[in-house]
Structure 1
Amino acid sequence: NALTAFAATALLARMAGPAVVGNYSFAVVTATLLGIVALHGLDLVMLREVAGDLRQANTGAARGVLRFATLSVAVAVAVITVIFIGAATAGRLSALLETNQAAMIGAAIGIGSAAFFRLGLAGLRAAGRPVAGQFWEGANSFLFAGIIGALWLAARPVSALGAVLLFFGCQLASVAMVWIIVRRDAHGWDAATPANGARLRKSGFPIMAIQGMQMFQDWLLFALVAGAASAAAVGALRVAMQVVMVIAIVVTTGETFIAARVAGDLRAGRPDLVWRRHRRATLAMALAIGPLVLVCIVFPKQLLGLAFGPAFVIAGPALAIMAAGQATKIATGPIGGLLTMSGHERWLLRFTIVGLGLLVVLALWLVPIWGLEGAAIAQAVSTAFRNVASFTAAWLLIPKEAPPTAPAG
């Protein structure tokens, strides 16, 4: 997924230039952020609850949680999409954000797509299909990269609106396939036991705040850079963040890949297995993305010029700074999933709020002075704080050893 998304952005950058990449990126991030709000954290809550219920062979409870999450997200998507379309068509939103109006209107289809994509992937992983979840998470990026590559070879121009519609069209294709599998897996489950919706939402809102604030940080940086410079500068920042995103996606994938097993281990009273999985995942991540982080820090301009073209080399220093911040993810490993699956998501919320505060203060101060480099410093400091604080909390809150009566694992 990370590599195909990188390839798609690289091809789009070479064929369309920084301005189109900037407007496309702003629209996609805006729709994805609103999709996270519509999801209101029920993806990870559903993953935790359904995985635990299936571990205990309580398929009726699992079906009840799945049904509640689906209906709740559908209602939220409908309301948010209508409001967004009204704001985007009025033109004030695009003028305020200094971005392309057509691309913003086209992004409306992405709100529901982003929400149900995440919810469906959580359903796959909760049902014990982490490999299928990983495949379909990357399939839409692969399809998008293939289409962009074909257009590039055919010398067909792509507008920001066209890129937005292609991106979410490919994502919707994956959404359809994911939900076919989820429904098929749930076919043999017992009749649904009514879910405690209030409890699920209460657990979900802190997760929504965490996910939303993390996405809002990217959105805010784009908005500030657009105001201080131009859409082309946003495009340059976007490609630098796309490289860094490869690192972040590997970490997120590690978290979601082990999340269902962590939830089951904790339900079974085996925290020792949780930390064993974390150590293995951290080592695997270090081997997978450590070399990329080093290249980003030492040769940032060369990497951007080679991958995206000379117009994007201006983001080289920003890439090096952000890569240094992301290096803390390698050191701490997939720690966010441990806190969420162990029911300590409120600590993640606290750290995310503080991290967002750091980013906002630093970005408002540094972006007008240093532009892209100021945005990169704000992002790197916020990221490093969240990673270190989350690891410290998990180390203190989650036991390292199994209870004396635990069965051998």
Structure 2
Amino acid sequence: MHNRHIARVRKVATNPALFAYGLKAGNALAAFAATALLARIAGPAVVGNYSFAVVTATLLGIVALHGLDLVMLREVAGDLRQANTGAARGVLRFATTSVAVAAAVITAIFLVAATIGQLSALLETDQAAMIGAAIGIGSAAFFRLGLAGLRAAGRPVAGQFWEGANSFVFAAIIVALWFAGLQVSALLAVLLFFGSQIASVAMVWVIVRRDARDWDAATPADGKRLRASGFPIMTIQGTQMFQDWLLFALVAGAASAAAVGALRVAMQVVMVIAIVVTTGETFIAAKVAGDLRAGRPDLVWRRHRRATLAMGLAIGPLVLVCILFPAQLLGLAFGPAFAVAGPALAIMAAGQATKIATGPIGGLLTMSGHEKWLLRFTVVGLALLVVLALWLVPIWGLEGAAVAQAVSVAFRNIAAFAAAWLLIPKEAPPAAP
């Protein structure tokens, strides 16, 4: 009996999923620490302008990616499961070429718009920070694409590590600036953030290219089919990022860049919850794709249950703290100037609690080819957010933005779980006689 308990403990302790969650937690803490230090040394206005620029560039990077990260993950993971490395290389080649062209075009257009100055005036943000963010469009796109390549090749833990390595680098630089007593502008913060990300992008693609070195010669990929699958995913990913961008824009117009900074740090705390969910989805995504290709949907739901339990244990306590003591948490972590966003944090944390209850459900729908349902739910969720934000932000300010975000998040999570429960079988098909 004693040996059996030891074996169980050893199995849990050496579980790659547990290690992945540990990496993700470390990454989230590093990002949290960087934002907290930046908030203390630069203040709410700089944090607001920096955040607006980073979110804008990341949103455009998602558009340049046009959903090919998850499409590539699904296709390459399935091809490798069937030892069809030529098809895997063809999909990888198509995805990198398509994303490179899109990123170059979007970056050029954005640079012209940002340099003219009308864009920054319209959005009431820092022009220099917006121009500096142009380097982040291609970086954000190839960062996500490279991480998908690592996970498709059976390296989920490596994907988790490199996804957060840039956060550690950025945090270390901010710490150095803090000790040196140097002032940090929004432009400098943007350049440091994307510079750290570009370093991670380079390392990720070195590994991806090394993994693909022994694959067979590429067979032509069906680009039309891949793009058709990718655009709904792009809409889903882009819409979720657009929601943050829209809330920042509305708060900036109704209040100030400092209010945007306060909302940003509240979102930074909530983001820890969302990151844990994303970890569950990305960690099991390749395995889910392989299970479905092998005709084993029962394994898919088993993985989902384990991931949901792990998510609840990992992030449940933080959700309670955010709901019960939001102002104290923000004041302690970021400074008294940010405690004004306490009620907004509590509201958004309540919305994120539905993510814990439903688990990493988005990955199941995407890997099973039902991404169009996610698109529909995302569109409805966006409509809810836009209507509520336009109505409530001018009245309630930060709290109005939080209500709009929480309602949208809760709707998407609950609707996606219901769809997955109905569309993905619970049991494996009976074996042929």
Common topology (TM > 0.5)? yes
Give distance in 1, aligned partners of 2:431 and 2:67.
34
Whichever residue aligns with residue 266 of structure 1, its letter is L
Residue 50 of structure 1 pairs with residue 76 of structure 2? yes
> Residue 170 of structure 1 aligns to which amino acid in structure 2?
S
The residue correspondences of 1:179-218 to structure 2 (distance < 5 A) are 179-218=205-244
Which among 73, 78, 83 is matched to residue 109 of structure 2?
83
**By how many angstroms is 1:3 displaced?**
1.3
Q: Deviation per CA, 1:232-268: give whole Å up to 9, x if none.
A: 0000000000000000011011100100000000000
> Does the aligned pair in 2 maintain the 1:270–1:406 contact within 8 Å?
no
Q: Report 1:164-243 matches (<5 A).
A: 164-243=190-269
Matches within 5 A, 1:124-139: 124-139=150-165
Q: Give the TM-score normalised by structure 2.
A: 0.94
Question: Deviation string for 1:37-92 (max 9, x for gaps)?
Answer: 00000000000000000000000000000000000000000000000000000000
Alignment size in residue pairs: 407
- Aligned equivalents of 1:129, 1:169: Cα separation in 2: 24
* C-alpha displacement of 1:2: 1.4
**Is 1:377 equivalent to 2:403 in the alignment?**
yes
Q: Contact 1:15–1:152 (CA<8 Å) still a contact in 2?
A: yes
In structure 2, what is the Cα distance between the partners aligned to 1:368 and 1:323?
22
In 1, the alpha carbon distance for the partners of 2:141 and 2:248 equals: 22
State the alpha-carbon separation in 2 of the partners of residues 240 and 186 from structure 1.
41
**Counterpart of 1:263?**
289
Distance 2:243 2:40 in 1: 26
Deviation at 1:229, TM superposition (A): 0.2
Q: What whole-Å deviation, never above 9, does each CA across 1:130-161 have from its counterpart, x for those lacking one?
A: 00000000100010001001111111110000
- Aligned partners of 1:136 and 1:259: how far apart in 2? 17
Question: Does residue 421 of structure 2 align to residue 395 of structure 1?
Answer: yes
Q: Are 2:142 and 1:142 equivalent residues in the alignment?
A: no
Per the TM alignment, residue 99 of structure 1 is displaced from its structure 2 partner at its CA by: 0.1
Q: 2:310 aligns with which of 259, 269, 284?
A: 284
Partner of 1:109: 135
2:126 pairs with 1:97: no
2:426 partner letter: K
Q: Counterpart in 2 of 1:326?
A: 352
Q: CA RMSD in A?
A: 0.8
> What is residue 23 of structure 2 aligned with on the other side?
none
The one-letter code matched in structure 1 to 2:241 is M
Q: Residue 158 of structure 1 is aligned with which of 164, 180, 184?
A: 184
Q: Write the distance in 2 (CA, Å) between the matches of 1:262 and 1:8.
A: 34
| C-alpha distance after superposition, 1:294-351 (max 9, x if no partner) | 0000000000000000000000000000000000000000000000000000000000
Separation of aligned partners in 2, 1:250 and 1:5: 13
Measured in 1, the distance between the counterparts of 2:108 and 2:200 equals: 23
- The sequence identity of aligned pairs, in percent, is 89
Name which of 41, 46, 50 aligns with 2:67: 41
- List runs of 5+ in structure 1 lacking aligned partners: none
SS of 1:193's equivalent in the other structure is: coil
Query: One-letter code of the match for 2:102?
Result: A
- Of the candidates 367, 384, 388, which is equivalent to residue 358 of structure 1? 384
* Alignment TM-score, normalising by the size of structure 1: 0.99
Distance in 2 (CA, whole Å) between partners of 1:349 and 1:2 is 27
Following the alignment from structure 1 to structure 2, what is the Cα–Cα distance between the partners of residues 309 and 294? 21
2:24 corresponding residue in structure 1: none
Deviation at 1:405, TM superposition (A): 1.2
Moved over 2 A (4+): none
Q: Could you say if the C-alpha distance between residues 3 and 58 of structure 1 is closer, same or farther in structure 2, counting changes exceeding 3 Å?
A: same
Distance 2:258 2:364 in 1: 39
What residue in structure 1 maps to residue 10 of structure 2? none
> Displacement, 1:406?
8.2
1:302 corresponds to which letter in structure 2? Q
Match of 2:272 among 230, 246, 263: 246
SS at match of 2:278: helix
* Partner SS state of residue 187, structure 1: helix
Q: 1:102 to 1:404 in 2, by over 3 A?
A: same
Q: Distance in 1 between matches of 2:317 and 2:327?
A: 16
CA distance in 2 between partners of 1:86 and 1:119 (Å): 26
